[in-house]
A and B are shown apart, each in its own frame.
Chain A
């Protein structure tokens, strides 16, 4: 494949022809901030935060949509670039609630990160601000359009990852906002609540309802695991706080990337449901009574053992589980064959 060599911040960088300046810089370990860019989505060039100075060009081009060419000389942090980025952040903050103190994404917000990085303490511009009502009429996602920076990542994620095209830009100019068709709420649309838009939102405009109510972003420990629902095998991070699973967030899964479905992302509530069984139960005169493990295990061993003794192994049957781990199914198979002495073991593979 043809290659091009350009100079970024005084360093020679060689990349395949067609690479953007942003990717070329990143491949060389040079940082350029972005809000609307995502490697999995179509380049947008909308937020302009990734502007750089390229010698010979009149304006500051957005590096995410500028193709690297041979001999190009790029400055990613010149005074003009830094000034432009500061102004962009000030303009975004001019119509932003600046309520980081109570925002669920505090600590995990790109706008906050870049304001900190560039020392932007306040909006710097005074003007009209939006006062949209909070959209929280579904149990999965909270939409706060006051915090939306119109980066359009959710629009592209819905179109290009989820293939649903539920949301898009509507209205013009200052009134531009992201909405489903007919400016309805997500629950009034075809939305399937996969939350893949939430996973790409760089700010607090889209938040997981349960997770953000339960924990601040820095309070959670993330544990990578595999989804317990269908056979696709998506991986995700369980978010744990104080020994409780408080939410699910995307990781870069080998099967699914960041994509999940509504069950995987929002169906974790069963883990701590009050109906969970927490003690062994023995039925006496038709009523379940709590028992110790020792008592319960001994009763199981005695009953299964006596049936085997009296009627033979063929009088016993085991249903193992498509929900349990490989190791558990293996042990159940071993137990059935060795201890019970029968091949009467199956599970719901056919259902």
Chain B
């Protein structure tokens, strides 16, 4: 996020795109509700009528995967009606003319044809966003899990720069990230192309600095493979061994049967987890890890806030904290790795990572710190891009609408959309074992519009089979009008409804994110 979570509550206008905020980020949802109570205008862009869409002044129930058309349409109105923040565009950005040219054809009437949103609403939302004192954009994977995910985000950034709603309080471009430490895992270089703090592996001086600190002569220079590419390489027999820590790709990744096939093909798989997950079952060795309650450390949240995790109890049985296990494996492989505590590891991180340079356990004991925090006396940076973008001038990136990779046809006439539920989390590994959450919400269902249900002869509570080109699952139908005709929805939390057997592996060419929000399916009643 460019801005703190608390800023949302102070916004005058909220544009929430592809975020089921009150279910997936309930406590961030409270800030949205607070803003609305204080008079802010809320616009929700989502094919489904989620709870937060129910609170919105405008719910833009667009056709799945048409976000770029909509966002370009908003930019078109803002430019053609003279609502551009001229001072911001002149002094802080470059490439405006190219954007202007690119969005010229995205008139509200043209966009209405693609998205299904009426031209009048597009105009009203564009005017509302442009003329608000402070407008914020929130988004999650409803925007990013498309083959054009990167372009979707660029279109969002274009909008914020056009109106100058960035680099100041209560505004900004704010992705709400889904997992406790997904931000931190990225910051720490658990990515194929960067080391800590997004320092590129392709830069000689970066590699030599890390190599020196890590006591080796050189580090690999070629960017590695992403999750999906590793799975594909494993299926081709090019990757022979994998080490998976605290992830469950069998349920979380698209085309699950293919993932299983790829992992089974490996010569050796070691999985380190707190439970015997669907992925761990395929392993040759399973190493028992400690849970968050059994170790010290830090998590970095979606607003870049680094906070302490504190050990409350001893690890269960012989389980060990992941950091200790990694040290053992490294040492056994001939590279002695030893730390007295996670605090010591953070000292090393701070030395190698400019944005974490001022972060230490001593400082975190009294309060959290928001990176960039380059020095021990630096207070942290809750708002990014104040006065200047990281690259200097903010660059407008013109982007074009492309339809999703797999659209409905005669054989597979419905769009499958997937997401999360309020009472559960990711692949259900934890939330299906709490003695409470699964007791209250223990079975998954498929949401289907009454019109589709009627034409398929499906009644509420019927068992149905959902089939795509890649796989099928059986699930109970729930007939609701929160999904539009032509779209069905379910979550990926439940192993017995492993919906990612069906989803499409088509990926965004830049971020390599799979298009989990759109694939073509058919639904059959089970006799």
A interface residues with partner B (beta carbon < 8 Å): 138-140, 161-163, 187, 192-194, 209-210, 221, 223-235, 238, 240, 243-245, 254-256, 259-264, 266-273, 275-283, 288, 291, 293, 296-301, 303-305, 307, 311, 313-351
Is the pair A254, B307 in contact by a Cβ cutoff of 8 Å?
yes
A275 vs B367: C-alpha distance when bound (angstroms): 35
Q: List, in ascending order, chain B residues with CB within 8 A of A319's CB.
A: 227, 230, 242-245, 247, 249
Give residues of chain B (245-265) contacting chain A, Cβ–Cβ below 8 Å. Answer: 245-247, 249, 252-253
The count of chain B contact residues (Cβ–Cβ below 8 Å) is 146
The answer on a CB contact under 8 Å between B286 and A288 is yes
B26 A329 Cβ-Cβ under 8 A: no
Q: Give bound CA distance, A299 to B269, whole Å.
A: 11
Are B247 and A321 interface neighbours, CB within 8 A?
Answer: yes
> Are A325 and B309 interface neighbours, CB within 8 A?
yes
Contact A266 B291, beta carbon cutoff 8 Å: no
Within 8 A of A (CB), among B275-313: 275-276, 280, 283-289, 291-295, 297-303, 305-313
Known A-B contacts A226-B180, A316-B239, A330-B349; A245 and B222 likewise in contact (beta carbons under 8 Å): no
Q: Is B86 an interface position by the 8 A CB rule?
A: no
Q: Which residue of A lies closest to B436 (CB)?
A: A139
**Does B176 lie at the interface of the complex (its beta carbon under 8 Å from any beta carbon of A)?**
yes
A281 B327 Cβ-Cβ under 8 A: no
**Residues of the A chain whose Cβ atoms lie less than 8 Å from the Cβ of B435:** 139, 210, 269, 273
Q: A163-B34, A245-B313, A256-B27 are in contact. Are A317 and B285 (CB under 8 A)?
A: no
Q: Is B27 a contact of A338 with CB atoms below 8 Å?
A: no
Query: Chain A binding site: helix, strand, loop or mixed by DSSP?
Result: mixed
Interface residues of B in 383-431 (CB under 8 A from A): 422-425, 429-431
Q: Are A326 and B284 in contact (CB under 8 A)?
A: no
Q: Do A230 and B25 contact each other (CB < 8 Å), given the known contacts A266-B434, A319-B244, A338-B219?
A: yes
The CB with the most chain A CB atoms within 10 A, among B283, B311, B328, is that of B328
Complexed CA–CA distance, A49 and B307 (Å)? 38
Which residues of A are found within 8 Å of B267, using beta-carbon distances? 303, 307
Tell whether B181 is near chain A: CB-to-CB under 8 Å: yes
B368 sits at the interface (CB 8 A) = yes
**Alpha-carbon separation in the docked complex, A291 to B284 (Å):** 12
Question: Is A225 a contact partner of B245 (Cβ separation < 8 A)?
Answer: no
Q: Are A320 and B330 in contact (CB under 8 A)?
A: no
- Cβ contact within 8 Å between B182 and A231: yes
Chain B residues positioned under 8 Å from A228 (CB to CB)? 180, 291-292, 430
Given contacts A240-B312, A330-B189, A331-B345, contact A273 B181 (CB under 8 A): no
Q: Is B337 interfacial (CB 8 A cutoff)?
A: yes
Neighbouring A residues of B185 by C-beta, 8 Å: 320-322, 324, 326, 329, 347, 349
The interface residues of chain B lying within 8 Å CB-to-CB of A267 are 425, 430-431, 434, 436-437
> Shortest CB–CB separation between residue B330 and chain A, in angstroms?
5
Q: Answer whether residue B186 sits at the interface, using C-beta atoms and an 8 A cutoff.
A: yes
State in angstroms the CA–CA spacing of A224 and B214 once bound together: 33
